[in-house]
Structure 1
Amino acid sequence: MCRSLIAATTLLLLLVGCHQGFAYKECPEGYILLGEYCIKVADYQLVANKTYTYAEAQFRCQRSLPTSTGQSVWTTDLVELDDNKKLEAISKHVFEQDSVGRIPYWVGGEYVNGVWKWVSGSKINLRSHIFLPDEPEINETNRAVYIVPADMKHKRYYASTYSRMDIVPSYICEAKQK
């Protein structure tokens, strides 16, 4: 009886922890645990010279889990840079892994109906420190967010905006538990 109670209590604590924003212990196949986030940086194909519009990058992220993975447990989309910690972790990882040069990456923000929003629909904090100075512009129809290497000394990427129809060499996805 005591073992059952301890097991049930442990399971309850784990479930509560997941819903209170605690870090994942493991990520779905193809994703890496970066700090407390499950991230996938799309491979940049220098030889193939493949590039992506915002819509293509988002499509690839949303379909990035193998069918064998528990898709009902995870949602995937372009990464939301909703806090500085996430951008710093991604910047560090990309600078360590990027052997072809510093390239931009699509991330999950866009200008929708007069408001800058993340792919989840939440508003982007325009006063956060994720954007380059003087960005993003207001009233930038058909624009989306991408990150560019802007601070080589501190190995930091910053967000900027670009036309959704233009092409970028790569993109970054995020997996979140439902």
Structure 2
Amino acid sequence: MRGTAAALCLLAVLTTRAPGATAAPRCPADFVSLDGRCVHIYTENYAGNAPAMTWPSAKALCAAKATDGWSTELATVNEAFLTKFTAHVVSEIPGMTGYIFWTGGSKVNGVWQWTDTAPIDPLAYIWYMSSPNPDSTGVYGMLVPSGANNRFYMLEYDESNVGPSFICEAKALVA
């Protein structure tokens, strides 16, 4: 009996979290947890197995990664995510530190938004220095590396541009 009580106390200690702490999400296969989100960084071009693609093609490839219980879209980014993303690329796939990555950002009727239609603040620190440029014909967001600050920033790219990679985000479907 005492052994059972001691085991239960130990279990309670091991499963108690600090206030405000959250568990890392369980992610689908081929996705990793970054900044509390499940993301897939497309590496097929880096591995020499696929050509570069347009934003609509990247969006379709990401959508095809949906599985039972999960929806997928090109990822939204914010400053906290960019910090985690940069650290992950540098430590886990350092050969891709010079790569560019499609995101879920697009300009619809002159307004920047994510694939879930949430607006993108044009003054957010995710943008590269002069972006978004109101005179640009770019309609899709791509993360580009900046060696000066050892992080990625978003730039607007045209419909005809291609990129070698993308960031896909999986979200658990609500039952």
TM-score range, shorter chain: 0.7 to 0.9
Match of 2:140 among 140, 144, 152: 144
2:171 pairs with 1:176: yes
C-alpha root-mean-square deviation of aligned residues, in Å? Answer: 1.9
Instruction: Determine which structure has more spread, i.e. the larger CA radius of gyration.
Output: 2
Q: In structure 2, what is the Cα distance between the partners aligned to 1:122 and 1:100?
A: 28
1:59 is paired with a residue whose SS is: helix
What's the TM-score once normalised by structure 2's chain length? 0.77
The equivalent residue for 2:60 is 59
Cα distance in 1 for partners of 2:33, 2:56 equals: 25
Structure 1 residue runs of 5 or longer lacking an equivalent are: 1-21
Q: Is 2:32–2:38's contact at 8 Å kept on the other side of the alignment?
A: yes
Task: Kindly report structure 1 stretches of 4+ aligned residues shifted beyond 6 Å.
Answer: none
Q: CA deviation at 1:24?
A: 4.4
Distance 1:92 1:155 in 2: 9
Alpha-carbon distance in 2 for matches of 1:101, 1:88: 13
Residue 131 to residue 101, structure 1, CA distance change in 2 (3 Å): closer
Name structure 2 gaps, 5 residues minimum: 1-21
Aligned residue identity for 1:146:
M
Alignment partner, residue 8 of structure 2: none
TM-score (norm 1): 0.76
Aligned residues: 150
Partners of 2:122 and 2:165 in 1: CA distance:
24
Q: How does 1:29-178 map to 2 (within 5 A)?
A: 29-46=29-46, 47-48=48-49, 50-65=51-66, 69-70=67-68, 73-81=69-77, 83-96=78-91, 97-99=93-95, 102-138=98-134, 140-141=136-137, 143-152=139-148, 154-178=149-173
Give the aligned residue type for 1:89: K
